[in-house]
Structure 1
Amino acid sequence: MVLTIDDMSFGVGQNLTIAGKVKSDCNSFSINIGHGPDSIALHFNPRFKYNKDRKVIVCNSYLGSWGVEQKERDFPFNQDGDFKVEFSFSNDRFLIKLPNGNMIDFPNRSGDDKFKHLHVKGAVKLHTIEFRYTPPQCALTGWGISCTHLLVFLHHYKGKSQVQSASHSTGTLNHITDKMVLTVKDMTFKAGQELSISGKVKSGCEKFSINIGHDADNIALHFNPRFCYNGDTNIIVCNSNQGGWGEEVREHGFPFQHDEAFKVTINFNNEQFYIKLPNGTMMSFPNRHGDDAFNHFDVRGDVKVEGIKMK
């Protein structure tokens, strides 16, 4: 598994772009869109060498059982090569834009107009997941840039805000127990890169977190906006976990609102993480691991993630 998103609504009128790099030993990989692992409306499966298939794209659906495969011989993927695939759909069909610009389509056998589950599996590394809104008249006609509005942007920035350190880790559990929204297990985030996360806070959210590290129990940055949790009200708590939680850093500037969109941009070096908040202000947190690359990233809590991009 490379990536799983369980609560990222993808609806008619949106485009989903997934970009990354195929690993040199990849035999096949898949992008699955649906309601869950047992309800897949689109199984998009490029196969370099799998069973008897050689350089073919297989599309299918799993709605209680696998349907009839659709095979596409146009195969613009290369091992150790970059790729970008774009998806759009209506109640009748999915449209898929391949890396070479050619289009293929696959019937929307579920007939649904919204899906919340996205799953990518196989020997690939991802660097971009983004949503764009496409007006209805443009949704199935070539996906011209003039018809789209990009929901994810990246910014370069300088400076940081003043933060307050707490003497102990109040209210931080040994394990984060919030509902998982998104997990990325093989999307390397390196010093000097920027990671942008955009989404929407749900109306009843008490808190959510963005976690960056080596795995779920080895977290270099735990970024945790708290609306109302364990005595904290409208505060951002940052921490790290290396066999146990460290000292909290607290930021009282709180530019998050229930039922409103947000965007957070993060970069880092061996000494510090720098976090650009939705209002444009900066805060920092020490890179206590001292590492220059992390491959685990997750988002938890009552938020909907609408876009992720790395640069």
Structure 2
Amino acid sequence: MSEYDLKRTILDPSIPYVGTILGGLEPGTMVVIHGTVPNDADRFQIDFQCGSSTSPRSDVALHFNPRFKGWNWGQIICNTLQNGSWGWEEKTYPMPIAPGKPFEVIFLVLPHKFQVSSNGKFLLSYKHRINLDKIDTLGIYGQVKINTIGFVSETLQQSTPPISLAASLLDGCLKVPCTQSLSNALGPGRTVLVKGEVNKNAKSFAIDLKPSGSRTIALHLNPRMKEKVFVRNSYLYDSWGDEERQLQEFPFFPDLYFELLIYCETHQYKVAVNGHHVLDYRHRFKDLSMINEVSVHGDVQVYEIRAW
């Protein structure tokens, strides 16, 4: 599974808060903010800035601005300020942050965008309009109480040397459809990781665990974006079995960067997406020692496939 390496934490900062991001931002960094919005709040903002100047105002690479009153209440406005001028607004709603309630916002820094989640759910993606290496300051303003600001780097915990999120993303994509052999066959205690990104106009994609050279599919994971269903099945004896579709919440969205973990137990697989357990699937193909291949196809980019 993943472990988080805490680089720096700021506790109970005064608002407005303007602080240097030590070492800047790089792909794989997460900025985790916990706070509470007052009951009478109008709005607040979190800005990833290129400096701390107020006159002239520093460029803002990402302006994250939840609004609770006015004609655009219930929306999060995102934008970029360059050379004193705002660009086009990107609006997201409905909004999971509510006055009078605590919140968590996580900004995951990717090479080409910020991916933002709130209260454990994907919220939005925002493509970079300013180069990451120019961002060196975090600013928080408005009607909000901040409890903690954490800067986190993510490293996979494996028996092999750690592979950073940044390295796998910067190495580029695997060609889809893609098939990768496992160095050791699957069995209880083994984990398969797939890092990828859902295409913008995706309809569906699939991740299959199977024996090489066989039509058999031991585990077929098939998110379908239009229907918002996550189908699980097995292909045995040249036919599909009964689909499993039950799920509390669909975890995939267009443009979503994801890390999908499949953990093999004696009687079932456990599947997690971006650190959250989403489903269990009991083994229908019992000879786990024959499962030695992962294939991915459909409307998705694949950055890494790894097993341990």
TM-score range with shorter-chain normalisation? 0.3 to 0.5
Q: TM-score, normalised by structure 1?
A: 0.43
